[in-house]
Structure 1
């Protein structure tokens, strides 16, 4: 078929997927599946091969990422139940002080706390953020809101164990350890520079408390009201209303809970014990990635450093810590919630893989190769722009990142572009212009006492700054990864 025909079909189908999600409120999973089928049929793949390719693509991605997503969800659910996040934020404030705490919080949220559901993280940490904000000056509310938005969203798509980062790695065949190291190289400077830029702009007068702040929805009943509102917002949205990646989780009421006989009060357990299993798993994965790069083979590390095994051990160890602190019944309840929340994550990831497989089966990669120069810069810009446009239209960080990576991923091998760079560029683009279609936008607007105008500054502007900086960091990384 002519090149123009294939390009036109893919473009029209992707546009149609966006329209049916935004205009007709069709679930993104269904829309993506229909889009994959349409591309296969219209580009001559045939009915049988289209279905076979979609099924294979779904299975291939789930084989790479399915268990990893499950382990991350379960670890996050148990840590949430043990009240570990609240204690961590309080500790960071004591250690780093008022000026340093936004950076400490931002790096924590963007890296090792990515197993926690975003909505739950906001609800749990928002009261503490409101206590910190006045200590940061007149722009404190805006700075804290931007810190939350930047770090949580950047972590989702660029940092293992963030759900979308794991999904992108599986979709593009990037070893999870390499994705962790590459993500770390981009995420850390992106979070620090973004918070610095936004904080400076806000302090120079861009943030106006009189118009950018409003009375908190939880005034007079902070914790309970926040939880009720979070559950109300979450139940009203569809899978694609936020990132298409994380559903609202019930937040455990740690304060005031009775300590089961034979267990310890979680507040007396050192934080390193609560987070130790997860940190150890990430260290094992990173160590094995380094050994792989150095071409050193250590059989024991090849087993223990495999992400599936490392995170499985973390699930078991976190569960044992949970049983000793909050008791078996509460640990089991948290696991049930984790499995419930993980269902839509699995399906969205798999269907994204089905779409990518159908596109890869055709000749789109060969066609696009002719339009790209033999450089890593132009393709990465194309990936970033495509993900950004999709996100502005759909409002789903994960969906836009997966779609952009799936479309252009097949081109990577033909032009010698490392799939890691495609994943990072897609993640960076998907962060651009988070707005009113995002559940995170409304949660931060409500729980941190912002007006809609204020949220547009802290969330939309703040994360867009991070999107551009992340693209720059990815381009810098491309000079060393090839």
Structure 2
């Protein structure tokens, strides 16, 4: 019954938002209340899960969102994103921009923190959309979601990739060799398939793109800024430097030479704050004190909207966790040590996909699935790296409304809930299905 109530809650939330036009915050809280009470979590415990889930999400990513959005507002005001996009368009033809974005996020900057990536990449995607066509935002949003999560599960140092490989005792170098190939093919194929869907009428800008006054004010202010703009190197520095700091901190920890100073500067909150500080100093120089203050105010309005809906998304996830659904799903599966390789791959994929649908977190689904399979992995006639890749493929499947990332993505890209479902949920489903046969092919080599 827990699985049934979870399904009802998720479907009801989507229905309320898309068909009844209920605000996402209201719909999410109603869904969380229904699920907690219907599943027997209890009255007090349901409220505690909702408030605790909100607080946990804010503790993890609240500052990341705030620092990142404020930095984006300042960079917009001084024309930094225009500088970056114009440079990108000179190098990459407009119709290739989504492929370039997806592959860059998958390979060059695989996600250590998906929240950091979407905060930093969303303004670039929004600014680039006008160079493609009227469906440009939809295609770029899909490409951004594809790149972030394909890199997250298949490419080291993606957090999900590292966690899954570690639980199944797969050497990171071996995982990287297989994962990078599968990741590149998956990202490219997903972006191509998604574009074909758009060509057949999948995207409707009038219904799928949201006209957020806060986001529009931030972007319109860029055109009102002073004519003097930063160089490309300066424009990119507040984004690139924090990513390098975070990546170096992660690699230092993996390699075993980290220390308190490296950990401090490699912390995502510290890195993004330094990026914000750099953007603030630059804005004071290029557009002056008054426009810098205005940009900060615009950024604060956008931040408030995103924080609230993201936090409530975390509340729903906490209630789902409180129902004990993950433990229930884990107990449903047992693997026969004599199962064929293909069956083992499919089962690992299915466990991870079902857990993701239920829990709403790619990394938690992958880690939980790996934890279920790890005790019997040695008994199976399939290489551990293939099991890890199967789990990664399944954990990608159908990121949707019970994920706090979904609501961040929706708000930062300026999409309606329907638009977010037609981009993020769609491309993660495509990527999951596309990568599965690639894992099967890899099993012939491993």
TM-score by length of 1: 0.62
Distance change >3 Å, CA 367–CA 68, structure 1 → 2: same
8 Å contact kept, 2:142–2:423: no
The answer to whether the aligner puts 1:36 opposite 2:32 as a matched pair is yes
**Structure 1 residues 91-170: aligned runs within 5 Å:** 91-96=87-92, 103-104=99-100, 106-107=102-103, 114-115=118-119, 118=122, 124-129=127-132, 148-154=140-146
CA distance in 1 between counterparts of 2:283 and 2:426 reads 38
| Structure 1 residues 354-396: Cα deviation after superposition (integer angstroms, max 9, x where no partner) | 2222222233222211223556754644665797xxxxxxxxx
Tell me the SS of whatever aligns to 1:25.
Answer: coil
1:252 corresponding residue in structure 2: 220
1:298 corresponding residue in structure 2: 259
The answer to whether the aligner puts 1:429 opposite 2:386 as a matched pair is no
TM-fit CA distance, 1:75: 1.7
1:363 to 324, 330, 336: 324
1:447 corresponding residue in structure 2: none
Tell me the SS of whatever aligns to 2:81.
Answer: helix
TM-fit CA distance, 1:207: 6.1
**Structure 1 residues 303-452: aligned runs within 5 Å:** 303-373=264-334, 378=347, 380-381=349-350, 384=353, 403=360, 411-412=368-369, 415=372, 428-430=397-399
CA RMSD of aligned residues (A): 5.2
Aligned length: 384
User: Where does the alignment leave 5 or more consecutive residues of structure 2 unmatched?
Assistant: 110-115, 153-157, 162-171, 336-343, 375-386
CA distance in 1 between counterparts of 2:37 and 2:215 reads 33
1:469 to 418, 431, 434: 431
TM-fit CA distance, 1:187: 6.7
Distance change >3 Å, CA 341–CA 11, structure 1 → 2: same
8 Å contact kept, 1:71–1:315: yes
TM-score by length of 2: 0.66
Distance change >3 Å, CA 42–CA 464, structure 1 → 2: closer
CA distance in 2 between counterparts of 1:328 and 1:369 reads 56
Distance change >3 Å, CA 352–CA 310, structure 1 → 2: same
8 Å contact kept, 2:102–2:148: no
| Structure 1 residues 165-209: Cα deviation after superposition (integer angstroms, max 9, x where no partner) | x9x99xxxxxxxx9xx99x9687554434445678x79xxx969x
Distance change >3 Å, CA 441–CA 275, structure 1 → 2: closer
| Structure 1 residues 79-128: Cα deviation after superposition (integer angstroms, max 9, x where no partner) | 2222222222222233346786564355568869743685x656643443
Distance change >3 Å, CA 464–CA 12, structure 1 → 2: closer
Tell me the SS of whatever aligns to 1:234.
Answer: coil
Q: Larger deviation: 71-80 or 20-29?
A: 20-29
1:271 corresponding residue in structure 2: 232
2:169 corresponding residue in structure 1: none
